[in-house]
Amino acid sequence: MRAVIFEEFGADLEVREVPSPEPSPGGAVIRVEATGLCRSDWHGWQGHDADIRTLPHVPGHELAGVVESVGTGVGSWRAGDRVTVPFVCACGSCAACVSGNQQVCERQTQPGFTHWGSFAEYVAIDNADTNLVALPEEMTFTTAASLGCRFATAFRAVTAVGRIQPDEWVAVHGCGGVGLSAVMIAAAAGARVIAVDVSPQALELARRFGAVACVTAAAPPETAPGFPAPETAFGSVPPGTPGTDGDGADVATRIRDLTSGGAHVSIDALGAPGTCVSSIESLRRRGRHVQIGLLPGLTALPMNRVIGYELELLGSHGMAAHAYPAMLKAVLDGELRPDLLLTRSIGLDEAGPALAAIGSVPGVTMILPTR
Ligand SMILES: [Zn+2]
Ligand SMILES: [Zn+2]
């Protein structure tokens, strides 16, 4: 099969002929029809992800396609089934899985990280009975793949983790792919959403996706050394870009003013120390902070406020396969429109250069390996 492969971290991404995978006894091989290009793939290629232990490696974890073959122990799936998978694939039998929380499985695998991923014509997925999700016939592969890690993660963060209720104030810090997804999902749930970003174009999209108010952050937050500048809907913002904030007040103060005391739920969809702190400080008493953006290492947090206000600090990590049907239904009903986040489709040959230039094109890029 053809696959996008790298020999060393940060080295050339080439399209090469490699052996096609075989299914494990409980696993399946999926013919990849669409696979999303995600910032996590960029981190993996750069060597930031400890799950990648052997080289060469094939990235890719946001996929949809058709089952090509299954292992002898698979009961629920057969060749020809249209499917997608969560980016966290679960073992199905550890304590977390037995409790229904496959998204934090103790023995999880992640295509594109723990093994070769979906920037290829075929990808192998373990424990197919636990991890495969059937696609409704009407749903295209590109829409299904765009649920990827970002949309599904935002869905769980807003609904199950953030427990957002109608009319609650929700602040979303960072309006790249995952942030815009969170805006759309929270607005569809009836929340009053405030979007925060440095980019006026990103905020314009947030408004289109249902934000009732927007706050322009004065400057992009600091990212960790070696990490790229924050992603916005219209590409990376160079560090030091002056903001357009007129009154000089910080983001948290503006949100507390807009909401008469603070948001009920605040989401750091970017993953930077400054955004995380700002999100916590945006909350009213007993509010919930949800961290979706990846934050490397330790972050100093205003714990005095966490205690005094009785705030909840919550992490959110993907979404289990069994939780997909509610999201798929909302997409089919037109309540949620992940397809609006898609801005371009490319072939496998263009995937390497596109990954190297991640953040330079707005929205979500879809790779079509069979094109
Ligand atoms: Zn498990
Ligand atoms: Zn992803």
pLDDT tens readout for residues 180-190: 999 999 999 99
Residue 298's pLDDT band, with cuts at 50, 70 and 90, is: confident
Residue 328 has a pLDDT of 97
Give residue 338 CA to ligand 2 midpoint distance, Å.
14
Find the ligand nearest to 107 CA.
1
Q: Decide: 148 and 36 in contact? Cβ < 8 Å.
A: yes
For residue 107, give its domain range.
2-149+319-367
For residue 157, being part of any structural domain is answered with: no
Quote the number of domains for the chain. 2
Q: How far is CA 126 from CA 49, 109, 224, in A?
A: 20, 8, 33
Domain final position from 315, 335, 356? 315
Q: Decide: 252 and 321 in contact? Cβ < 8 Å.
A: no
Residue 327 has a pLDDT of 97
| Nearest-angstrom CA–CA distance, 210 and 193 | 7
My answer on whether 9 and 144 are in the same domain is yes
Torsion of the alpha carbons at 277, 278, 282 and 285, rounded to the nearest 10: 10
Give residue 38 CA to ligand 2 midpoint distance, Å.
4
Q: If you average pLDDT over each of 200-204, 277-281, 298-302, which comes out highest?
A: 277-281
pLDDT tens readout for residues 93-132: 999 999 999 999 999 999 999 999 999 999 999 999 999 9
My answer on whether 188 and 145 are in the same domain is no
Residue 77 has a pLDDT of 98
Find the ligand nearest to 365 CA.
2
Q: Decide: 186 and 212 in contact? Cβ < 8 Å.
A: no
My answer on whether 217 and 184 are in the same domain is yes
Find the ligand nearest to 37 CA.
2
Average pLDDT in the chain? 91
- Residue 227 sits in a domain whose CATH number is 3.40.50.720
Domain final position from 299, 315, 331? 315
Residue 219 has a pLDDT of 65
Give residue 320 CA to ligand 1 midpoint distance, Å.
11
DSSP state string for 214-257: EEE-SSPPP--TTPPPPEETTEEPPTT-----SS---HHHHHHH
Give residue 330 CA to ligand 1 midpoint distance, Å.
27
My answer on whether 74 and 212 are in the same domain is no
Q: Is the pLDDT of residue 338 over 60?
A: yes
Find the ligand nearest to 96 CA.
1
Q: Decide: 273 and 242 in contact? Cβ < 8 Å.
A: no
pLDDT tens readout for residues 223-260: 544 555 554 443 444 343 333 333 446 999 999 999 99
Domain final position from 297, 315, 333? 315
Q: Is the pLDDT of residue 292 over 60?
A: yes
| Nearest-angstrom CA–CA distance, 204 and 207 | 5
Give residue 90 CA to ligand 1 midpoint distance, Å.
5
For residue 155, being part of any structural domain is answered with: no
The residue among 4, 29, 35, 28 whose CA lies nearest residue 18 is 4
Give residue 327 CA to ligand 2 midpoint distance, Å.
17
Give residue 246 CA to ligand 2 midpoint distance, Å.
35
For residue 41, being part of any structural domain is answered with: yes
Q: Decide: 90 and 128 in contact? Cβ < 8 Å.
A: no
Find the ligand nearest to 102 CA.
1
Give residue 314 CA to ligand 2 midpoint distance, Å.
20
For residue 154, being part of any structural domain is answered with: no
Q: Decide: 279 and 263 in contact? Cβ < 8 Å.
A: no
Give residue 285 CA to ligand 2 midpoint distance, Å.
33
Q: What is the pTM of this model?
A: 0.89
3-state secondary structure of 211: coil
The residue among 21, 125, 148 whose CA lies nearest residue 77 is 125
My answer on whether 281 and 344 are in the same domain is no
Give residue 27 CA to ligand 1 midpoint distance, Å.
15
Q: Is the pLDDT of residue 352 over 70?
A: yes
Beta bridge partners of 82: 66
Give residue 109 CA to ligand 1 midpoint distance, Å.
9
Residue 234 has a pLDDT of 38
- Residue 11 sits in a domain whose CATH number is 3.90.180.10
For residue 81, being part of any structural domain is answered with: yes
Give residue 62 CA to ligand 2 midpoint distance, Å.
6
Residue 221's pLDDT band, with cuts at 50, 70 and 90, is: low
My answer on whether 188 and 79 are in the same domain is no
My answer on whether 140 and 21 are in the same domain is yes
My answer on whether 31 and 101 are in the same domain is yes
Find the ligand nearest to 118 CA.
2
- Is residue 242 packed enough to be buried (19+ CB in 10 Å), middle (13-18) or exposed (0-12)? exposed
Secondary structure of 84-134 in HEC code, one letter for each residue: ECCCCECCCCCHHHHCCCHHHCCCCECECCCECCCCECEEEECCHHHHCEE
For residue 226, being part of any structural domain is answered with: yes
Secondary structure of 265-307 in HEC code, one letter for each residue: EEEECCCCHHHHHHHHHCEEEEEEEEECCCCCCCCCCCHHHHH
Q: Is the pLDDT of residue 31 over 50?
A: yes
For residue 158, being part of any structural domain is answered with: no
pLDDT tens readout for residues 156-212: 999 999 999 999 999 999 998 899 999 999 999 999 999 999 989 889 999 999 999
| Nearest-angstrom CA–CA distance, 151 and 146 | 7
My answer on whether 37 and 111 are in the same domain is yes
Beta bridge partners of 69: 29
My answer on whether 262 and 229 are in the same domain is yes
For residue 304, being part of any structural domain is answered with: yes
My answer on whether 22 and 43 are in the same domain is yes
Find the ligand nearest to 153 CA.
2
Residue 222's pLDDT band, with cuts at 50, 70 and 90, is: low
My answer on whether 305 and 180 are in the same domain is yes
